[in-house]
A and B are shown apart, each in its own frame.
Chain A
Amino acid sequence: MSMLRSIFLRREAGIAVMIVLFCLAVGSVKPQFLTLDQLRIILLLTPLIMIAAMGQMMVIVARHVDLSIGSTLGVSAMMSGMLYRWDATWLGFDVPWWTGIPVSVATGALLGFFNGILIQLFRLPAIIVTLGTLSLYRGLTFILSNAKQIDRQWIPSELKGLSQTSPILGIPWIIFIAFGIALLTHWFLNHTRVGRQIYAIGSNPVAAPLRGIRVTHVTLMVFTISGALAGLAGILYASRWGFVNPSNTGSGFEFQVIAAVVIGGVSINGGVGTVLGTVLGVLLLGCVAAALPLLGIPGTSQAAIYGSVILIALLIDRTVRQQGIVSLKRSRA
């Protein structure tokens, strides 16, 4: 076990080394990449991905995948945007700015729960179900909003302030929220019974129920959490960009999140993955995204880079897994 553990530890160290090497390489060409200002830009690119990646990571650890989070983000952001645009003067008071947060999170949780029901109760593969709900939820966003964008003036300034004002050191609230969620996920996965059960289900779905794990409950919960976190990312999207658009908001987001999670060393075969690795994966993606404009690489190449990064991460995942098996065999021999 200690042998395997050391390999996983090395894995995260590997990502950290990759980040440092990448930053040094870009910094040697463009010295302004290594300034604090640039660090701020990198950090500001990541919070939405990081929050959703925590949910996606749990789903992948449980040996499923959630393709619908981009659309879930869209619906949730749209719900809160509609709430802000809603004329509540007849109530006698304005809708407080923070109400969007529970509304968005609850919407996301509901959509995630719906995914979970379909997957767990009908025993369907998550990839096909969430491919269906990806389209279904996107259509829902259009229907809810009547295909109209929620413009800047409707988003409360306090909400926008979350990604501009800072409690300390000039780092905006939104980054603290993202790291707070990451810490919470770390605690949940490592120090609660249910958290450990997610790993048990992912590493051996046949053995898990035999050990008395309630697979249906846990799986439903994992998908609900993934949806809720996508919902939180939705309201923060409104905060960060100041608008909600039915077709753009969250579209293609799932691929960035899956890329980040897979780079972070979460095994697609389930049962393996850490919060630290995922956070590092997100940061590496952030560094790449921030370096592109500096290096004069057009933004159109971003998708191709994400795609190749997913494939490279898959290759690394496979080599690491094989090494793990070999070293296990050696230690037994």
Chain B
Amino acid sequence: MSALETQSAPSSQDAAPVRPRWQTIIIRPETMTLILLVLGVFAGGLLSPYFLDINYILKSFTLYAEVAMVALVLTMVIIAGEIDLSPAANMALSACVFAWMQQAGIPIPVAVAIGLASGVLMGAINAFFAIALQLPSIIVTIGTLTLYRGLAQIIAGDKSIRVPEWFIGIDKIMLAGIPLPAVIFIVLAIVLGVVLGGTIFGRQIYQIGTNEIAARHAGIRSARIKLILFLLIGFVAAAAGIMTASRLGSVRYDLALGQELQMVLMAMLGGTYIFGGRGTILGTFLAAWLLVIVSTGMIVANVLPAVQLVVLGGLLIVSIVATNFIYSRAQR
């Protein structure tokens, strides 16, 4: 195996000449996402004048803000070369734990804290299997996805747990005309974007994803960084679950059922490389808005929910094919 690798290693003579700056910008996958986003708004505008109304788009965005928040962290997890399919189930279980606690008479702030803590714990369980035991995170999180959703089902049964009246309606709170979930999403995107793009910690995430063994030899503590990422995605998923509880007014075990698809889709549409090492928060940020435009567009156009499933599934496949293609071209 090592003999093969040394054979195919490029020598300095093979290095491509430096590209002009405009070219490097154009072949970035985020550019593709941005173009699609503009086209989406344009096509939506032809479909219905509502699409040119920023308030309408912002209002639709609140339905997807929670998933989009998780997708931002998932982007970092995928860049680090891991994957987490369990956050949608984590959202359901954290929300159920929170709703159950407050129903049992525990004051709401404490219940929220317990819900968030349970989310972090779920992230820690994933990290234990994926990092400490070095099992592939794909299979581990398929297992924990079933487990967390199942635990939520045990807690909530077939009933829905209501949350108090005053706790309902996070999506109705406006900050400077922008719904609160959208504000939280934008702030989180800026913070994570700065962390990933501008700090040593962020650059180390890229190094781990590009070549973990080399990164470890370079003194990067990859296990610790991955642990932080898994804990972070657990925390954000729990926060997203509790926000969903506030938006819907009640919690059922099937909250966010199947939405791991949307999360992975947002990351992939934003140009995150599925094998790790590449991708940006900006890409996922743009992709989240693109997905909202596409989904809302389909609802406005009266597309059957079933067809929407087909479109989302097809979009996921097309976006990985396209991203892989762009990166393989850029590497040449």
Contact = CB atoms under 8 A, between A and B. Distances in A.
A306 B309 CA distance: 26
Contacts of A41: none
Given A127-B138, A133-B317, A311 B147 contact: yes
Contact of A143 (B133, B150, B306, B324): B306
B309 A304 contact: no
A268 B135 contact: yes
Contacts of A139: 306-311, 313
Contact of A132 (B133, B148, B253, B316): B316
Contact of B139 (A124, A141, A268, A303): A268
B320 interface: yes
Interface string B128-140: 0100011110111
Interface in A248-270: 255, 258-259, 262, 268-269
A43 B139 CA distance: 27
Contacts of B275: 125
Contacts of A134: 261, 313
Given A127-B138, A143-B304, A304 B314 contact: no
B147 A123 contact: no
A84 to B, nearest CB: 21
A248 to B, nearest CB: 13
A157 interface: no
A1 B136 CA distance: 26
A188 to B, nearest CB: 24
Contact of B264 (A128, A133, A298, A307): A128
Nearest to B142: A258
B260 A131 contact: yes
A311 B136 CA distance: 12
A255 B146 contact: yes
Interface string A296-323: 0010111111111011001101100000
A311 B145 CA distance: 11
B310 A136 contact: yes
Interface string B246-290: 000000010000101100100010000011000000000000000
Contact of B154 (A124, A301, A314): A301
Contacts, number: 150
B226 interface: no
A277 B44 CA distance: 54
B324 A311 contact: no
B143 A311 contact: yes
A147 B307 CA distance: 11
Given A255-B146, A315-B133, A131 B138 contact: no
Contact of A314 (B143, B148, B268): B143
Interface in B130-174: 133-136, 138-140, 142-151, 153-154, 157-158
B143 A300 contact: no
B200 interface: no
Contact of A136 (B253, B264, B309, B321): B309
Chain B contact patch, size range: 35 or more
Contacts of A206: 1, 4
B83 interface: yes
Interface in A81-105: none
A307 B309 contact: no
Contacts of B63: none
A44 B146 CA distance: 23
A136 B316 CA distance: 10
Interface string A262-284: 10000011000000000000000
Nearest to B145: A307
B298 to A, nearest CB: 12
B146 to A, nearest CB: 3
A124 B143 contact: no
Given A124-B321, A136-B313, A143-B307, A269 B148 contact: no
B268 A128 contact: yes
23 contacts: A122-B324, A127-B83, A131-B260, A132-B317, A132-B320, A136-B313, A136-B314, A138-B309, A139-B306, A139-B311, A147-B304, A206-B4, A269-B136, A298-B157, A300-B154, A303-B150, A304-B150, A305-B150, A308-B147, A311-B129, A314-B133, A314-B135, A317-B135
Interface of B: 1, 4, 83, 85, 129, 133-136, 138-140, 142-151, 153-154, 157-158, 253, 258, 260-261, 264, 268, 274-275, 304-314, 316-317, 320-321, 324
